[in-house]
């Protein structure tokens, strides 16, 4: 299998027309022309991401500074670990998209969406800074937790290792597997942390943080849609790449991710957070894995029900519990997601 080169950013000799355009392996001229797009899902996604624009400083965090002082030791430990791990993943993804993914994608409208996603990942990093500064005078304590907590470092090392293994000499299979790796990151690795933050919010604590996570999760859903549509478009263009061997590798990737994320969820909660047991956390991650697999044309592996549907209610911008979260955030529901649009 031959190696894939990065696309040329300016290619005036290109004769590629819109019907010849490919998710990767194409020959674009380098121009981003939103009036001539092959992938309609990408233009819809761009509009959705643009409508979802938000700014971390607009989320009211003054109540969290008070709440944090009165969290139980278990709650405080969970909050700190979740925040530290989310900081790592969005930092990693900001660079990963620009360095390892976008250079090989040859559809300009998808390049634009990936650039927008990279900005949003950096915006999440800004939001974590706002959260850290609101609850601690010693910001390095949370930013440096990965250096001192073995479990946190283990998870970070594993996720970074997956991306590292998919770099180097790039082949068709590596690009497709990288798409799946990003689907896993956006669709699984954030979710124990998100649910933990919502558990605090459900108890009336750290409401500003819960609101911030709500905005972040809405962004992550668009990022998940990005890679699921990218996978499905690639499957249509290059069905020969989607072999039984590839499916086996993808299922191994998901299986490992479920084990890692369930273990992480159990570690951060330690059976001391109301509404969360190790079994519930694992079932939640298994449920999400099945949803992600089915979205890209594979059969589910776990066949379990959603064990904590209230989490989806708190994550939604469409429900009527508008008083649950405090803050002076304007009406961002204009960007609410409808999966049927994609």
Angle at Cα 107 formed by Cα 24 and Cα 36, nearest 5°?
150
Instruction: Report residue 113 CA to chain centroid gap.
Output: 14
SS3 for 190?
coil
Angle at Cα 105 formed by Cα 250 and Cα 230, nearest 5°?
45
Residue 119 annotated to the active site:
no
What's the token pair of residue 290? 């099945």
* CA nearest to 262, candidates 185, 191, 186, 183: 191
Token look-up 């392996």 returns 25
SS3 for 66?
helix
Of the residues 68, 128, 287, 314, only one is catalytic, namely 128
Give dist(CA 222, CA 50) in Å, integer: 11
- Beta-carbon contacts of 127 under 8 Å, excluding residues fewer than 6 positions away, are 56, 59, 212, 215, 216
**What is the DSSP secondary-structure string of 238-278?**
-GGG--HHHHHHHHHHHHHHHHHHHHHHHHHHTT-STT--H
- Beta-carbon contacts of 149 under 8 Å, excluding residues fewer than 6 positions away, are 81, 84
Burial (Cβ within 10 Å: 0-12, 13-18, ≥19) of residue 246: middle
Catalytic center residues? 128
């Amino acid at each position: 299998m031959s190696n894939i080169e990065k696309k040329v950013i300016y290619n005036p000799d290109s004769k590629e027309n819109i019907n010849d355009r490919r998710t990767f392996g194409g020959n674009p001229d380098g121009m981003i022309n939103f009036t001539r797009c092959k992938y309609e899902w990408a233009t819809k996604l761009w509009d959705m991401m643009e409508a979802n624009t938000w700014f971390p400083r607009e989320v009211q965090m003054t109540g969290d500074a008070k709440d944090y002082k009165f969290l139980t030791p278990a709650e405080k430990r969970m909050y700190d670990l979740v925040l530290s791990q989310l900081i790592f993943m969005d930092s990693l993804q900001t660079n990963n998209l620009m360095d390892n993914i976008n250079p090989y994608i040859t559809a300009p409208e998808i390049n634009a969406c990936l650039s927008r996603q990279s900005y949003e990942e950096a915006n999440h990093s800004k939001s974590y800074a706002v959260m850290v500064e609101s609850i601690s005078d010693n910001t390095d304590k949370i930013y440096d937790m990965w250096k001192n907590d073995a479990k946190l470092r283990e998870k970070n090392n594993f996720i970074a290792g997956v991306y590292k293994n998919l770099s180097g000499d790039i082949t068709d299979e590596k690009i497709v597997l990288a798409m799946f790796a990003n689907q896993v990151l956006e669709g699984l690795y954030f979710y124990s942390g998100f649910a933990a933050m919502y558990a605090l919010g459900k108890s009336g604590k750290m409401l500003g943080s819960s609101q911030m996570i709500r905005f972040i999760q809405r962004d992550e859903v668009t990022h998940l849609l990005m890679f699921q549509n990218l996978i499905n478009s690639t499957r249509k263009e290059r069905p020969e790449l989607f072999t039984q061997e590839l499916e086996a590798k993808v299922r191994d990737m998901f299986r490992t991710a479920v084990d890692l994320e369930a273990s992480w969820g159990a570690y951060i909660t330690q059976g001391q957070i109301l509404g969360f047991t190790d079994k519930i956390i694992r079932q939640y991650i298994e449920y999400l894995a099945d949803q992600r697999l089915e979205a890209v044309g594979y059969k589910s592996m776990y066949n379990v029900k959603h064990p904590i549907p209230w989490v989806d209610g708190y994550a939604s911008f469409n429900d009527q519990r508008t008083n649950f979260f405090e803050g002076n955030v304007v009406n961002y529901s204009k960007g609410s997601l409808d999966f049927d649009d994609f």
